[in-house]
Amino acid sequence: MADPGFTPVILLTGFLGSGKTTLLSRLLADPALSDTAVLINEFGEVGLDHHLLDRIDEEMVLLSSGCVCCTIRGELAAAIKALHSRRARGEVPPFRRIVVESTGLADPLPVIATVTADPVLRHHVRMGAVVTTVDAVNGPDQLARQPESVAQAAVADRLVLTKTDLATPAQEAAAVAALRALNPDAPLVRAADAPLDAAALLGGRQALTTMSEGFRCIPAPAGAENHTAGVSTFALVFEASIDWTRFGLWLTMLLHRHGSAVLRVKGLLNVAGANTPVAIHGVQQLVHVPTHLPAWPDPADRSSRLVFITRGLDAGLIERSLRAFGLMPAGAPEGVEQGQ
């Protein structure tokens, strides 16, 4: 769930031909998502015709599942504002979430920035999960060659591996290894598996705490290799509790200086004075509102862990900066886990 009174915006992204449309059509047929609004580029590009029930106007239709489906004409911010206003006036059925399907060549950052930074939207919506589809057959090659594919997979809160029914076991294993080297802790589901839990897949970030791999912040598996030039995944682990003010200053300065090189930072923090962990998410210079979790995933392990996915940014530099701010003690590192 999003914060009370705020509508979560879920981004569905993935490279060209990775199966976003097929997945979206399948998810919207689930009654659990009947209170969903969908923003897409063109109806004709999205195979939802068999779900169409009623056309409200030239930009909006009501699907048989109860979902509202709209085309994006112009800026995303304007489309979300218009949708929100029409809901307030009772011109469209009530909805609890908005799903935005991006184009296959889109960098996800502008969508996230729109939701997070727009001065009007920030009073009505919150960024929910980023769900990224990856083709099991072509995904490894796309991750090695296409910067957009790397960005889409790196920022994902959930990864959906598609076309596993067409892939050989070796191709599927290669795709999983490439994704785990790039984004080691995002829950990964296979679209060919049935049934898919639509509500959990498109749930807000807090729903991650109830999923099997949520907030573990694990490093990439041993032996996994990241073939995308300049991209590395690593985790910094430390036992001492963290001064929240000092940490916030450090993170702000780090992202101000190196934000373009930080594809993603995700952390589970033991904050001094707090009984439960604080989860943080950042994409380049954008940091989402920290979340106070109700309990530690593993009560026996209360160490803080930061996972970084970076392009051309050395783990040692980040570790040294943490020490300079007194967030990690001097001397031998308490934990640096490399994903390469």
Segment 234-261 mean pLDDT: 88
Least confident piece of the model among 84-93, 133-142, 150-159, 326-335: 326-335
Q: What is the pLDDT of residues 156-182, one digit of tens each?
A: 999 999 999 999 999 999 999 999 888
The pLDDT of residue 49 = 54
The pLDDT of residue 339 = 46
- Helices and strands counted in the chain (H then E): 9, 16
Classify 138 as helix, strand or coil.
Answer: coil
The pLDDT of residue 204 = 58
Rounded CA separation 92/83 (Å): 8
Helix axes 244-258, 315-324, angle to 10 degrees: 140
User: pLDDT band at residue 81, thresholds of 50, 70 and 90?
Assistant: very high
Q: What is the pLDDT of residues 1-51, one digit of tens each?
A: 344 578 999 999 999 889 988 898 888 888 888 899 988 876 555 555 555
The pLDDT of residue 283 = 83
The pLDDT of residue 164 = 93
- pLDDT higher than threshold 80 for residue 65: no
Judge contact between 16 and 105, C-beta under 8 A.
yes
The pLDDT of residue 207 = 38
φ, ψ (nearest 5 deg) of residue 274: -105, 140
The pTM of this model reads: 0.78
Rounded CA separation 283/262 (Å): 7
Least confident piece of the model among 104-118, 158-172, 176-190, 196-210: 196-210
- β-pairing verdict for 188-190 and 231-238: unpaired
Segment 188-195 mean pLDDT: 86
Q: What is the pLDDT of residues 286-328, one digit of tens each?
A: 887 788 888 888 888 888 888 888 888 888 888 888 888 888 7
- pLDDT higher than threshold 60 for residue 223: no
- pLDDT higher than threshold 80 for residue 249: yes
Residues in the chain: 340
Say which residue, 3 or 272, is predicted with more confidence. 272
Judge contact between 103 and 110, C-beta under 8 A.
no
Write down the mean pLDDT value for the chain.
Answer: 81
Task: Give percent of the chain with pLDDT exceeding 70.
Answer: 82
State the CB neighbour count (10 A cutoff) for residue 198: 18
The pLDDT of residue 229 = 52
The pLDDT of residue 222 = 44
The pLDDT of residue 188 = 93
